[in-house]
A = this chain, B = another copy of it.
């Protein structure tokens, strides 16, 4: 089923025409109502009337997270605050947090985005969605909550934590869909195993993955453990929240709701727009948003875009799974390394658990990477020789993936800290020297 056939199956030409109209409108609204954009466009001598084609968007400057921080708290709002009905905020570990504001129509658009996505995952009003994402200033929990309301499925707003109870509820309530971050999913799978719980005890139809990077191999692992297909959900608090792009049953890229959000891929160094299928930084523009429309927001997420129509029947552009972030790339001996590459290598090896940490050090003015990986219970009780073999195998696979030799340490099962939110994968000790 397709939630909104008109929007999702529109021809590329009609979509481009619609996008141009909406782009012209949003640039005008931002220019007229948001002092930040007004000032910036004036300075650069840009006027909304300069947008005569979709390509003209390249004339506009980027918006960064730092720009949003400067507007803290409500400086980026395009409407009087009495029209705002909800605010969210990103965590802000450094500096002021970023605030995101929503009008009633924005909340409805957000619900619509997620409704489309849940439908892509095969979910309808008969399903029971266990939403383990946290509710609060973070948008994670609310996106799925609103989307579930829209399609009429049952939402269990359990949020993160109470992990044993999560498993109990999956069984007792007959949960058919579970939403988690990949690392929390792995943690739940492990707990479930401990409690002698079998994937046959539950009747999962789909898993929604969000808020974290993962590899295809991680997906396979989760799918096997829970006995259900896992779909990727993408989004950012700044632009709206999770649901901006979601995977369909083809599991071949995430359909972007292009009538709401205009995607570009740029070279993160030069800022130049890249052509289709090239990897680069995703830049997004809100096309419909009233409360806080962002224009050319740099997401720092690395992906590519494909505009071919999909076997599911939808014509909206698809983005690849995020393979890295411009800011979580680790530069080691001059080589760009992404944690996802390490993970990809690890998941090719049997007898290890998909729990790992990457430790970067600079002991003698030279960068070194150590990868700590958990051995499986079986392996750990096995002979030393076998462990040495596995260790070498992992080092080979990683070298193959990133072009660098790293040190691999196999550690005891369950010795790497589990996270209930985003996993901490990289520990960079170089700054401490």
- Measured CB to CB, the residues of A under 8 A from B are 72-74, 81-82, 84-88, 99, 101, 104, 107, 125-126, 128, 135-137, 141-142, 148-149, 152-159, 172-173
Contact = CB atoms under 8 A, between A and B. Distances in A.
A87 B142 contact: no
Nearest to A149: B85
Contact of A159 (B73, B99, B135): B135
A43 to B, nearest CB: 27
Contacts of A153: 85
Nearest to A145: B86
A137 B157 contact: yes
A152 B104 CA distance: 8
Contacts of A86: 148-149, 154-155, 157
Contacts of A126: 81-82
B158 A137 contact: yes
- Determine which residue in A156, A157, A158 has the highest number of CB atoms from chain B within 10 A of its CB, and name it: A157
Count copies of this chain in the complex.
Answer: 2
A84 B137 contact: no
B135 A85 contact: no
Contacts of A125: 82
A81 B157 contact: no
A107 B137 CA distance: 22
Nearest to A154: B84
A163 B81 CA distance: 25
Nearest to A127: B82
Nearest to A137: B158
A155 to B, nearest CB: 5
Given A81-B126, A137-B157, 7 more contacts: A73-B173, A81-B128, A85-B149, A86-B148, A86-B149, A87-B154, A135-B159
A85 B81 CA distance: 30
Contacts of A74: 173
30 contacts: A73-B172, A73-B173, A81-B126, A81-B128, A81-B154, A82-B152, A84-B154, A85-B148, A85-B149, A85-B152, A85-B154, A85-B155, A86-B149, A86-B154, A86-B155, A86-B157, A87-B155, A87-B173, A88-B157, A104-B149, A104-B152, A107-B149, A135-B135, A135-B136, A135-B141, A135-B157, A135-B159, A136-B158, A137-B157, A142-B157
Contacts of A72: 172
Contacts of A173: 73-74, 87, 99
A154 B89 CA distance: 13
A368 to B, nearest CB: 36
A399 B138 CA distance: 49
A87 B142 CA distance: 15
Contacts of A128: 81
A359 to B, nearest CB: 29
A154 B74 CA distance: 12
A223 B85 CA distance: 26
Contact of A136 (B84, B148, B154, B159): B159
A279 B173 CA distance: 39
A281 to B, nearest CB: 30
B136 A87 contact: no
A107 B146 CA distance: 12
Top 5 A-B pairs, shortest CB-CB distance: A135-B135, A136-B159, A84-B154, A82-B126, A73-B172
A141 B157 CA distance: 11
A212 B129 CA distance: 30
A90 to B, nearest CB: 13
A156 B85 CA distance: 9
A86 B127 CA distance: 11
B152 A136 contact: no
A137 B152 CA distance: 18
A300 to B, nearest CB: 24
A421 to B, nearest CB: 13
A157 B136 contact: yes
